[in-house]
Amino acid sequence: MSTATLAPAKPAKPTRSYALRDSLTMLRRNIKHMQRYPSMTISILVMPLLMLLLFVYVFGGALGAGIGAGGDRGDYINYLVPGIILMAATSGAVATAVSVCTDMTEGIVNRFRTMSISRGSILTGHVMGSVLQVAAVLVLVTGVSLAIGFRPDASVVEWAAAAGLLLFLAFGMAWLSAAMGMGAKTVESASNAPLPLTFLPFLGSAVVPPESMPTALRWFAEYQPFTPINETLRGLLLGTDIGNAGWIALAWCTALAALGYFWSRAVFNREVTR
Amino acid sequence: MSTTNHPTHAATAAATAAPGTRSTAISATGLRKSYGDKVVLDGIDLRIPEGTIFALLGPNGAGKTTTVEILSTLITADAGDALIAGHDVKADADSVRTLIGVTGQFAAVDGLLTAEENLLLMADLYHLSRSEGRRRTAELLERFDLTEAARKNVATFSGGMRRKLDLAMTLVGRPRIIFLDEPTTGLDPRSRRDMWELIRDLVTEQGVTIFLTTQYLEEADHLADRIAVLDHGKLVAEGTAEELKRLIPGGHVRVRFADEAHLATAAAVFGIATRDDEALALQIPSDGSVTNLRAILDALDGTGVQAESLTVHTPDLDDVFLTLTGKQNAPTVPAPSTATATQKESTR
């Protein structure tokens, strides 16, 4: 069509230049939501904490003996905590899926879509919010773990590496759950969609060594994404052997983030141009 | 009155009428949209001059919201072109978005924030400076009578307050063209009047162009300079409120007489009137204007018959929908007078 080129010559502001500013605006909006309605943040905090206390104080004695070499509850805390921290890093997924879905089903997103703003900012705001939320949960869960007897021997660099890996995982999970939230028709199904993902650490090396599992499950536990991430964390915090788990963990996190990102974009664009 | 004209011809004629002195804010030609087998818009032509209020009137499912969605860049049409202030909605969507504001059928407010925060959020997204954003927010809260509720959570707002906030949010960026999709559906009469006043002030004070959809003839009548009636994805009539009302056979004066003799005499005078022998009444088509009433009374006086009572029945929503938005068995609908529409356009 030729009228587009004949249209008044006022150059359209490139939306891209506002991508960061708009994303930060959306982030502030999401943080306000979290502050005003902390129940979601509390529930994603309570889950890993309950798991921690349950496994340490209820099962800890028996499991400590089970993981070998005359272990006790204290040894088991050290084995368990990296797994619990990993769970905490995945726990934000449900909250993200729910808040993205709520946004999509309400009129406000249609308003955003008629405004001259960076379109992606709606999602990047959610993803950044989710990562910050998870970071806060991680700090609290780690704090409680230290308080009940977690004794890591990590250096500052190792702590930083562990934090980086966890935040990278949270970032990938946030993109994935944003896609799930957008694809979901109702808030209920949005909250269910990421549940299998948050359950996966249990089927890995989070609470017990995979060697103690039946063959099929052990095979699954060894090759699923969370086991190498878990082993890397354990290695960074407690000095166990990491081997090539570190690279595999990074590869999985990259894959999760890439999958989530492209899936989100595809769903978002489909929803936009119905 | 000719009844053979195809209704959509009138719309086409109006859309292609010689350009007036005002420039065109919104124009569309041959807009089509279907979802699967269901045709929602079947060739819509529009031309809306700057600084006017245009109402798209139609029943549920006529395609009103779809039209707004296309013109506001939310969705793309399957065929046809639409220009907003000269910018193509498809090719130049971002320029269009800098010019428009949209207030949808369902209040698009953030229910988890306060009214003030909602407005500040808009200010940020319109890339206003912090101080400008604060000033604009305070100004709009004041103007929309929301200052007291500014720090309250929107979740606690009534429907009327939410709609007002919704419109206020649209105005933060000072849009030149505003789309209002059923702005008063579900509001109580008081809130509806408030909303009308706000909408009219926008046009008179700031000269914005308003594209309004509504199911209420009264609303279109009250606000709009021009009204188009949409049914099953087609424009079936277009014109001013007066022009449309004249097309609706529902407008009439009902005169009751003392006895049959008087009725018969009167009926002979008014050839086109409908006789109701049982009620001794005569139904005379009328637009309800004083001039028209006087003419009827004068005619009655001339014959010397005594009228017992007289009631004026002005066309209402039912009349419009039942006649213009053609059910198959509805009476034949005359097309709006193309000549009048074109004349009006050129005298502007």
Model pLDDT for residues A103-155, shown as the tens digit of each residue: 888 878 889 988 988 888 999 999 999 999 999 999 999 999 999 989 999 89
Cβ atoms of residues B1 and B334 within 8 Å: yes
Query: pTM for the full model?
Result: 0.77
Domains contained in chain A, number = 1
Asked if A134 and A30 touch (Cβ cutoff 8 Å), the reply is: no
- The verdict on a CB contact (< 8 Å) between B124 and A25 is yes
Mean pLDDT in residue range B2-30? 57
The answer to the question of residue A62 being in a domain is yes
Per-residue model confidence as pLDDT tens digits over B61-90: 889 999 999 999 988 999 999 999 999 999
- Rounded CA gap, A4 and A164, in Å? 47
Q: Per CB distance under 8 Å, which residues of B are interface residues toward A?
A: 35, 72-76, 81, 83, 85-88, 91-92, 94-95, 97-98, 100-102, 104, 106-113, 117, 121, 124-127, 153, 169-170, 173
Given a cut of 70, whether residue B319 has pLDDT beyond it is no
Contact at CB, A1 and B88, closer than 8 angstroms: yes
Taking residues B20-39, what's their average pLDDT? 87
- pLDDT value of residue B205: 87
Higher local confidence (pLDDT), A72 or B153: B153
B170 pLDDT higher than 90: yes
Provide the edge-to-edge strand list for the sheet that holds B226-231.
B100-103, B177-181, B209-214, B53-57, B226-231, B234-239
Note the pLDDT tens digit of each residue in B88-99: 999 999 899 999
Q: Tokens 């995979």 belong to which residue?
A: A210
According to the model, what pLDDT value does residue A138 have? Answer: 95
Please check whether residue A146 touches B, CB under 8 A.
no
Percent of chain A at pLDDT exceeding 90: 46
Q: Report pLDDT for B180.
A: 93
Residue of B100, B109, B127 to mutate, testing the A interface (most A Cβ within 10 Å of its Cβ): B127
Helix axis angle, A226-238 to A156-183, nearest 10°: 160
Contact B86 A8 (CB under 8 A): yes
State the nearest Cα–Cα gap between A273 and chain B, in angstroms. Answer: 5
pLDDT surpassing 60 at residue B343: no
Closest by CA to A200, choosing from A235, A167, A229, is: A229
Average pLDDT of the residues in A250-272? 88
- Residue A253 is predicted with a pLDDT of 94
Confidence at residue B105, expressed as pLDDT on a 0 to 100 scale: 73
What are the structural domain ranges in chain B?
7-247+321-347, 252-314
Per-residue tokens: A226: 């969370």
- Given a contact cutoff of 8 angstroms between Cβ atoms, the answer to whether A55 and A149 are in contact is no
Whether A29 maps to a domain, the answer reads yes
Residue B231 pLDDT exceeds 90? no
pLDDT at B32 over 50: yes
CA angle B274, B279, B285 (to 5 degrees): 25
CATH 3.30.70 is right for the domain spanning B252-314 = yes
Q: What is the CATH number of domain B7-247+321-347?
A: 3.40.50.300
Report which listed range, A52-66, A151-165, B216-230, B278-292, is most confident: A151-165
Which pLDDT band holds residue B224 (cuts at 50, 70, 90)?
A: very high
CA distance A259 to chain B (A): 26
* Number of CB atoms found within 10 A of residue B230's CB: 25
Q: What's the average model confidence in pLDDT over A62-87?
A: 82
Which residue from B minimizes the CA distance to A108? B108
The three-point CA angle A107-B96-B220 to 5° equals 65
Is pLDDT of A234 > 50?
yes
Q: Of A23-32, B70-79, B287-296, where does mean pLDDT reach its minimum? A: B287-296
The answer, yes or no, to whether residue A8 has pLDDT greater than 80, is no
Per-chain mean pLDDT for chain A: 86
Residue A104 lies in a domain: yes
Q: pLDDT band at B126, cuts 50/70/90?
A: very high
The dihedrals phi and psi of A69, each to the nearest 5 degrees, come to: 55, 45
Residue span of the structural domain in which A173 resides: 17-272
Q: Please report the pLDDT score of residue A1 as a whole number.
A: 39
Range picked from A225-229, B243-247, B294-298 for highest mean pLDDT: A225-229
Residue A98 lies inside a defined structural domain of this protein: yes
Burial zone of A17 (CB within 10 Å; 0-12 exposed, 13-18 middle, 19+ buried):
exposed
How many CA atoms within 13 Å lie on the side-chain side of A89? 27
Q: Output phi, psi for B177, to 5 deg.
A: -130, 125
